[in-house]
Structure 1
């Protein structure tokens, strides 16, 4: 058995966990990566996107050169079309290779994916149990496995979080580091799985039952981080949705982290869970940047359309605490919400800048298969059924480039000013917004202003690890392309 996994642009913690299982069972495995330059979900350039067919052939050839018996894809709606083309080429050249798909899109659209005939097995939810069964030559017994038998789709039960026996699996980073040398300083990890909430625009809104949250054993996790620290890693990015939601757990974890790890780190925080003690412990443990979700400072819009349970007062209190404890933070904000007004967004940004965020991360409302926001937008006449159908087939709007809802062009102009909040003084930004000077700006500059300001902030402040990595990925890839051209 030889298993080859394909991934695009970023590090996959799920694949790293699978690699640990492969090693346990002595399964030969490898990784093929596409660096995703100008074609990942963050930055899409139409000129480079047109080159997708030539990239697909190169990727499929790279996979086939490794002579796999199985090929595994992690499928997001954004990369569905590319992966289907790769799978089609592999299938045309070797029908004996078993093609397996997992990931968010596979979990929601498994029936459509199986009906394409390109995938032998589509796995829903967490894949660890399936991987173990695959290693034991029993893939169809694995949790989450879906496949066609006698013209009918068989669906095994699935879970969105790993079974307890897999929670503390080591993330085996060797193959990703081999393919992503610029990533060598950074530990990407999570301390927990799952999310209690069902925000309408989020993947978790798809499922009827609440998703449980399960956390890693603190002692085991600290030992894993310590091992990585000894290997030379210098920075940590925690990707948990609910990093601090269990107060007793996070207090103990941060205390141990401070004693034994003490590397600078970033994390994501749900505003309602933040208090003085947690802020102090985050700061003392080495936190250099916190990402918090506001989306909009309107309780009515947040509750009615985003289906968030937190209140504007809790978001403001979280920002106040972060500012008080001198913790740099990024605040997430969404344009394209039903019944939004220019004034609501102006007030939100004016409130954010009181507390001097490192940056404001603007996104545009974007639909994904089966998310609750789809029907909300459909009922309000902001999208049509055709857009939903296109989305399910992989033709998806971009969260950074206008999203799925047509918005007032003044919002894109306001975004330009918002991006400057981390660079220029509060008074200047406040005047530009209050006098609506931004309305003279060309709205097409919004995306350019985002990446320009992000780059400046990363270079000046040195605490935006995710932006640092994007810059390093592009610089490394462009240098490699230049070297190839010169040869």
Structure 2
């Protein structure tokens, strides 16, 4: 009697590995099946970075499905859980149908998409978990294993022969220290790709290393749940869950175990929505992390959480990479459409603080700063784009600019706004399309003819890209914009960007240090044996 948890296109899946540990802690036998690995391919972006990867999902083959079904047969679980995002809705439907043909165990869906769109999910499965699944799944598994009814468990919607039972939500777990650490061992882990079980080839999301001990080089975790912000394009705009955080002692203990279990551990990635929240917590963390862990780490940042009294200690502790969402340089558009409250003045203060961290001595001599931008929003007009360019031209040079296509997820506030005003239809929503899976990271396509607002957006995207390069003076960008140079010859402007990107990377010593560190993450014998010499292998 056991539970099988299936993750789609996400070998690393932190949430399901945490759920795996939680069930195991409560003496419920559990298996983790990672079905299909997210791949990377080389893409000619304009990022001021050596890494030019584009994530994509290759096709599921019949051999993949047969392999999955055979593993389920071998496990013979009492309950099967499938966790997935909106772009994998159709795959979840197909797999559930195939599983139900040969297995009597009930199937429960969970994760981002079932949480935001339970009404459209419950008709395709037996059970949907809405929100956090720790105690709901523990109770569900226990009831099934012990032959008790499970139709009155909070957080679960149950499809009882077409009769939908919508149980209420249960209180959140406030003390996150009661949760075990996510499982990154090989125990009861199965990885499926290329039509077979991938024995000893559990390559992580980054493509540089592996997901399980003792070969982890990038250790991934979270210190907090939820987010203090509620941007209209984010799942936190729907849930409004209370921001909760583990104690510093609990986080450090996890990382100490990770170091002990992985002799080649090189980096820590914190996937918290925003890390620099709560000054006292961050100061305590910085001191303990530097003293007991002392590895470079990554976090997400936010313009409204950029107090130098917090940022400097984090940098001294080993903070080396950050991503901050700018999304648009138009305050009005950010405020009214994206539900973001930071002013342009606050953004400038934040990015200048970030640039200042490069002067702070830390584990690594470089500090990589990535700024995100939402691209191809039809409501972002010429004035908004001009304001955005003006903002980026005030940023200290040397950052990495990366743009992401606007995606519409079910029931998000921004999705409702676009639907109500006729800008999109149901067919444009994730689950019906896969923008967030295969066309999320965006770049210029020389072979494509851009018309209308897309031409204007691509023009400014190229100008934004030029703004990141130290060698390209801002006054020339302003001249190009003012005189509308190359607006009908976008290909020339694109090649200009590629030229200065090449020069920037060729002449930048910190970039070489960064590239060398990435190349040296794992031993050469493992690079050759497991084909991880290149990230997209």
Q: What TM-score bracket applies, with the shorter chain setting the length?
A: 0.7 to 0.9
Deviation by residue 1:381-401 (Cα, 9 ceiling, x = unmatched)? 42134434xx45465564335
Deviation at 1:428, TM superposition (A): 4.3
Q: Larger Cα Rg: Structure 1 or Structure 2?
A: 2
For residue 224 of structure 1, what is the aligned residue in structure 2?
254
For residue 79 of structure 1, what is the aligned residue in structure 2?
88
For residue 2 of structure 2, what is the aligned residue in structure 1?
2
Any conservation in 1 of the 2:89–2:431 contact (CA below 8 Å)? no
Equivalent in 156, 167, 175 of residue 167 of structure 2: 156
Distance (whole Å) between structure 2 residues aligned to residue 239 and residue 211 of structure 1: 17
Residues 1:120 and 2:126 aligned together: yes
Distance (whole Å) between structure 2 residues aligned to residue 385 and residue 97 of structure 1: 33
Deviation by residue 1:98-118 (Cα, 9 ceiling, x = unmatched)? 2221001101222221212xx
Unaligned runs of 5+ in 2: 42-52, 145-149, 192-199, 211-215, 359-366, 444-451
Equivalent in 31, 35, 38 of residue 33 of structure 1: 35
For residue 409 of structure 1, what is the aligned residue in structure 2?
455
Any conservation in 2 of the 1:101–1:123 contact (CA below 8 Å)? yes
Distance (whole Å) between structure 1 residues aligned to residue 178 and residue 298 of structure 2: 22
Deviation at 1:432, TM superposition (A): 4.4
Distance (whole Å) between structure 2 residues aligned to residue 282 and residue 342 of structure 1: 38
Deviation at 1:479, TM superposition (A): 4.3
Deviation by residue 1:297-323 (Cα, 9 ceiling, x = unmatched)? 221111111111221111110101111
For residue 490 of structure 2, what is the aligned residue in structure 1?
441
Residues 1:214 and 2:240 aligned together: no
Distance (whole Å) between structure 1 residues aligned to residue 72 and residue 90 of structure 2: 19
Equivalent in 366, 381, 392 of residue 341 of structure 1: 381
Residues 1:133 and 2:139 aligned together: yes
For residue 224 of structure 2, what is the aligned residue in structure 1?
192
Distance (whole Å) between structure 2 residues aligned to residue 345 and residue 476 of structure 1: 46
Kindly tell me: are residues 346 and 169 of structure 1, through their superposed partners in 2, closer, same or farther at Cα, counting changes over 3 Å? Answer: farther
Any conservation in 2 of the 1:189–1:238 contact (CA below 8 Å)? yes
Distance (whole Å) between structure 2 residues aligned to residue 26 and residue 375 of structure 1: 40
Deviation at 1:455, TM superposition (A): 10
Q: Secondary structure at the match of 1:320?
A: helix
Q: Secondary structure at the match of 1:266?
A: strand
Distance (whole Å) between structure 2 residues aligned to residue 143 and residue 468 of structure 1: 48
Any conservation in 1 of the 2:370–2:400 contact (CA below 8 Å)? yes
Relative to the length of structure 1, the TM-score reads 0.82
Kindly tell me: are residues 364 and 160 of structure 1, through their superposed partners in 2, closer, same or farther at Cα, counting changes over 3 Å? Answer: farther
Q: Identify the structure with the greater helix proportion.
A: 1
For residue 60 of structure 1, what is the aligned residue in structure 2?
68
Deviation at 1:142, TM superposition (A): 4.3
For residue 441 of structure 2, what is the aligned residue in structure 1?
400
Any conservation in 2 of the 1:168–1:217 contact (CA below 8 Å)? no
Q: Secondary structure at the match of 2:75?
A: coil
Relative to the length of structure 2, the TM-score reads 0.75
Distance (whole Å) between structure 2 residues aligned to residue 100 and residue 225 of structure 1: 31
Deviation by residue 1:206-248 (Cα, 9 ceiling, x = unmatched)? 24xx321010021121111111122232201111112112222
Kindly tell me: are residues 392 and 28 of structure 1, through their superposed partners in 2, closer, same or farther at Cα, counting changes over 3 Å? Answer: closer
Residues 1:361 and 2:402 aligned together: yes
For residue 21 of structure 1, what is the aligned residue in structure 2?
22
Question: Which has the higher mean CA deviation after the structures are superposed, 72-81 or 145-154?
Answer: 145-154
Deviation at 1:59, TM superposition (A): 5.1
Deviation at 1:268, TM superposition (A): 0.8
Deviation at 1:433, TM superposition (A): 5.8
Question: Which has the higher mean CA deviation after the structures are superposed, 228-237 or 412-421?
Answer: 412-421
Distance (whole Å) between structure 2 residues aligned to residue 324 and residue 350 of structure 1: 21
Kindly tell me: are residues 434 and 289 of structure 1, through their superposed partners in 2, closer, same or farther at Cα, counting changes over 3 Å? Answer: farther
Any conservation in 1 of the 2:88–2:431 contact (CA below 8 Å)? no
Distance (whole Å) between structure 1 residues aligned to residue 295 and residue 480 of structure 2: 43
Kindly tell me: are residues 247 and 340 of structure 1, through their superposed partners in 2, closer, same or farther at Cα, counting changes over 3 Å? Answer: same
Of the two structures, which has the highest relative contact order with CA contacts closer than 8 Å and spacing of 6 or more? 2
Distance (whole Å) between structure 2 residues aligned to residue 477 and residue 127 of structure 1: 38
Q: Secondary structure at the match of 1:100?
A: strand
Any conservation in 2 of the 1:201–1:372 contact (CA below 8 Å)? yes
Unaligned runs of 5+ in 1: 483-487
Distance (whole Å) between structure 2 residues aligned to residue 85 and residue 370 of structure 1: 23
Residues 1:460 and 2:468 aligned together: no
Distance (whole Å) between structure 1 residues aligned to residue 62 and residue 464 of structure 2: 38
Q: Secondary structure at the match of 2:320?
A: strand
Distance (whole Å) between structure 2 residues aligned to residue 3 and residue 325 of structure 1: 46
Distance (whole Å) between structure 2 residues aligned to residue 320 and residue 72 of structure 1: 45
Any conservation in 2 of the 1:267–1:290 contact (CA below 8 Å)? yes
Any conservation in 2 of the 1:56–1:86 contact (CA below 8 Å)? no
- Give the alignment's Cα RMSD to 1 decimal: 3.8
Q: Secondary structure at the match of 2:423?
A: coil
For residue 308 of structure 2, what is the aligned residue in structure 1?
276
Q: Secondary structure at the match of 2:39?
A: coil
For residue 485 of structure 1, what is the aligned residue in structure 2?
none
Distance (whole Å) between structure 2 residues aligned to residue 29 and residue 368 of structure 1: 30
